[in-house]
Structures are given as C-alpha cells and as structure tokens.
Amino acid sequence: MINIYEYENYREFLKDYFEVKERNGSRLTYRNFSNRAGIPSHTLAQMVIQGKRNLTLNTIPGFVKALDLKKGESIYFENMVGFTQSKTDEEKSYFLEKMYEIRSKKKKGFSLPKVNSDHTKLLFSRWYMPLLYELILLNLFDEDYEKLFDFFEKKVSKVKLKKAVSDLRSSGLVEKNNEGKWVQKTPCLKTQDEVTHLLIRDYQKKMMEFALDKISDPIDQREFGFVTFAGNKSDLKILKNKIKKLLDDFHGETLELKDQDNPPDQIFHFGVQLFGMK
C-alpha cells in the first residue's frame, strides 16, 4: 500500500497506485476504477495520469471514492490536485502550504519525501532562515535580537526573528557546544539536484532582489560578472553540469575557509544564473 502523504503530484500518485495494484495481483482496470468512481468515461483515469486531462470539482469526489481515501487523505488529495494543476507560483504556494499543514499533523516520526525533508522545509520556509543559520558563526545567534534586527536592516520584525531562532533551536540543526555557544550541527546543507520546490524558488527570487540592491555597493565590496553569448539549445545540459561542478567546488572551498584560524565576520551570497534570452 502506497502512502499518499509521500506525494506532491497527484498524477504520480495515481500512476503508482495502479502499478502497486497490478503487482499485488489486483484485477483493477481503468474501466473498473471509473465504475467505482461513478464516472462515465472509462479512459479518464488513464488520460489524467498521462497529463492529457485534468480533474475538476465534479470528478475529484469520484476519484476519492474509487481510491477509498479516508477524510484526511481525501483533503490532502484535493490540495494535491490543486497544487499539480495550478498555473502560478502563488497558487502552488497556497496549496503546498495546505499540504504541509496536513503533513505536520501526522504522528511524530512520519517520513516526508527526501526533497521536502523537515530541515529543507524549515530552512527555506522564510527567506531569512538560511542567513540566520549562517549567522551562528558570527556569534549573533544568542538573545541579542537588536543585533539581528540591525543585521537584517529592519526588514524582519523582532517577533519573526524570535520565532525563527526558536524554530532553529528546536529543529536539531543547531546545538550548544561545551562552551555553551550555539553551533551548526550540520555545517553544509544542500538541496537535491534539479529541485523545483517552491520554497527554494522563493528564496532564490529574494536573493536576486538583494543582488539588485547590492549592485550599487562600492566595487571593492562586491563582484558582479556576466557572459552573454550565442549557443545551441543542445549545449544547455553541458553548461548546467559545468555550473553544478563550479558550485560544488565553491562549496568545498567555503568549508575549508571556515576551518581556518580567522573566524567569519560577514555573510556572503554566491549565485549563478544561466537562462535563455528568449
């Protein structure tokens, strides 16, 4: 039996549902499923899985019935449909948050999908969380919220900062060392390759906004470079792999810098963008 809460895309859930039924010797067919759902079209489920048709407010209840979902599962399924079929980031964010709320009510120890681990969700739930996580190294993590408030240039309220600090402390991402100072339990966290998670995309957008502000800083305090070139679409995969290697190498170098005698005294952001102009 598959666990619906391990999915975000309802089409993938339906695909795996039928495959599991087949492996278990069930004689479930698309026709039988449609009959159980009370839907005249015997090919609707197959077309939905293939992305050729969408579910509607009229067809969702039938699918819930045919899948034999419980109340909580049916609500999750409805939000999963909304998330999968949404056209804008705002809509997707709305349904994704609803899905997270349902997941959070599950019993302790419930396993979330790897790409949406609890730590990833927490760190990218608010744009300032990754920065706060790194601020531990600057000894600004303790109870001096005035320093934190000033660091974020008053763009984050003290109430939100206190909540963020509390969340980090209870997450297991940070811990107190023998000297009683808060330190990172995991010095470097990476998201999965090709992640399209909305929370991470929102964080990337926020960092681009910061980049626009920082471009006016003195040149000795920042570095902006770019290359505009003509290429072939077939080269995109090669170029992306080069950027991934660059980021991996850069990650390793930043970890080596942390191990040196000079303690960190500033937070930096290093980003790379590659996109077609049309």
Whether residue 237 lies inside any domain: the answer is yes
pTM summary value: 0.54
Whether residue 247 lies inside any domain: the answer is yes
Are residues 14 and 86 both part of a single domain?
yes
Are residues 82 and 31 both part of a single domain?
yes
Are residues 92 and 134 both part of a single domain?
no
Residue 176: its H or E element: strand 174-176
Q: Domain end: 93, 111, 129, which one?
A: 111
Whether residue 26 lies inside any domain: the answer is yes
Domain hosting residue 149, numbered range:
118-184
Are residues 69 and 168 both part of a single domain?
no
**Contact status, residue 169 vs residue 132, Cβ threshold 8 Å:** no
Are residues 231 and 211 both part of a single domain?
yes
Q: What is the pLDDT of residue 190?
A: 54
Whether residue 274 lies inside any domain: the answer is no
Whether residue 22 lies inside any domain: the answer is yes
Whether residue 19 lies inside any domain: the answer is yes
Q: In this predicted model, what pLDDT tens digit does every residue of 33-71 receive, in sequence order?
A: 999 999 999 999 999 999 999 999 999 999 999 999 999
Q: Domain end: 111, 142, 170, which one?
A: 111
Are residues 91 and 54 both part of a single domain?
yes
Are residues 155 and 69 both part of a single domain?
no
Whether residue 263 lies inside any domain: the answer is no
- Residue 138 maps to which CATH number? 1.10.10
Are residues 35 and 52 both part of a single domain?
yes
For residue 150, the tally of other CB atoms under 10 A from its CB is 11
**Contact status, residue 102 vs residue 71, Cβ threshold 8 Å:** no
Q: In this predicted model, what pLDDT tens digit does every residue of 220-232 receive, in sequence order?
A: 999 998 898 888 9
Give Cα 30 to chain centroid, integer Å: 33
Are residues 142 and 174 both part of a single domain?
yes
Spatial neighbors of 177 by CB under 8 A, at least 6 apart, are 183
Say how many domains are in the chain. Answer: 3
Q: What is the pLDDT of residue 191?
A: 52
Q: In this predicted model, what pLDDT tens digit does every residue of 131-189 receive, in sequence order?
A: 888 887 777 666 678 888 888 878 888 898 888 888 888 887 888 888 877 787 765 55
